[in-house]
């Protein structure tokens, strides 16, 4: 008989609920206790002269879509999850880099040279897209949301914890008692997301082979088997 393995989902909603559904479908027991909450920022939006939009997260798509009815500009998305969010928000022209920020920057350098691009992102983005693109295109960085620590307590019983971002990794490292990490597994979406966890005595810290949720869940593996 397959045992349900409790997995703590730390990402902010609504993404946490999507992850929980995927975990349930795979036979895990998701415990949704987000360490972060997404807050939209007041933004004076000016799209004059803008020829494309860049998004590095579904949260950026949602925050921008709430600010503007514009859906005709081409979208350059970091990966498929972000591209899917853009499609669901009503954007029609979407190109996905299928990777991380470096892959998105490479795609912009190759396919969007000379364009003026608004990067709708977090107040504390995981990386500097403008610096990565260099002078190949003009990147206007536009913070449209911020992730704030929720102050939520850890679930009472969990075997593994999923870390979807460096920001979540820092929140976990700052708030989880070292004893609570003992004998448990952390699974991070990237080396940057795993780095803050070094001070905690996890039995194992796994890093996804690619910065996607598919790779994150692959690194989690399969539910344990009861004996």
The CA distance from 36 to 171, in Å, is 8
What is the structure's pLDDT at 216? 95
Contacts of 30 (CB under 8 A, 6+ apart): 7, 9, 19, 20, 21, 23, 24
Counting every residue written for the chain, the total comes to: 227
What is the structure's pLDDT at 202? 96
CB atoms under 10 Å from CB of 48, counted, come to 5
* pLDDT confidence band for 224 (50 / 70 / 90): low
Asked whether residue 60 carries a pLDDT value surpassing 90, the answer given is yes
The CA distance from 8 to 32, in Å, is 6
Asked whether residue 227 carries a pLDDT value surpassing 80, the answer given is no
pLDDT tens across 66-120, in order?
Answer: 999 999 999 999 999 899 999 999 999 999 999 899 999 999 999 999 999 999 9
The CA distance from 98 to 105, in Å, is 12
pTM over 0.75: yes
Measuring CA to CA, how many Å separate 129 from each of 36, 49, 60, 76, 119?
23, 19, 14, 12, 8
The CA distance from 105 to 78, in Å, is 9
Question: Looking at residues 163-184, what average pLDDT do you find?
Answer: 94
Helix, strand or coil, per DSSP, at residue 178: helix
pLDDT tens across 191-211, in order?
Answer: 999 999 999 999 999 999 988
């Amino acid at each position: 008989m397959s045992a349900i393995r409790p997995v703590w989902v730390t990402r902010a909603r609504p993404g946490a609920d999507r992850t929980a559904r995927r975990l349930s479908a795979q036979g895990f027991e998701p415990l949704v206790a987000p360490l972060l909450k997404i807050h939209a920022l007041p933004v004076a939006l000016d799209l004059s002269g803008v020829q494309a939009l860049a998004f590095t997260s579904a949260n950026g798509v949602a925050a921008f879509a709430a600010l503007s009815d514009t859906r005709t500009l081409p979208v350059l998305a970091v990966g498929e999850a972000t591209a899917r969010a853009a499609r669901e928000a009503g954007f029609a022209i979407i190109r996905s880099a299928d990777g991380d920020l470096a892959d998105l920057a490479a795609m912009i350098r190759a396919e969007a040279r000379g364009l003026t691009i608004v990067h709708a992102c977090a107040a504390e983005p995981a990386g500097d897209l403008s610096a990565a693109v260099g002078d190949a295109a003009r990147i206007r960085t536009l913070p449209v949301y911020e992730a704030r620590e929720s102050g939520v307590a850890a679930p009472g019983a969990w075997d593994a914890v999923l870390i979807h971002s460096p920001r979540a990794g820092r929140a976990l490292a700052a708030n989880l008692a070292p004893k609570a990490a003992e004998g448990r597994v952390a699974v991070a979406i990237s080396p940057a997301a795993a780095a803050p966890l070094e001070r905690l005595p996890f039995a194992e810290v796994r890093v996804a082979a690619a910065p996607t949720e598919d790779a994150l869940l692959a690194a989690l593996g399969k539910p344990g088997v009861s004996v």
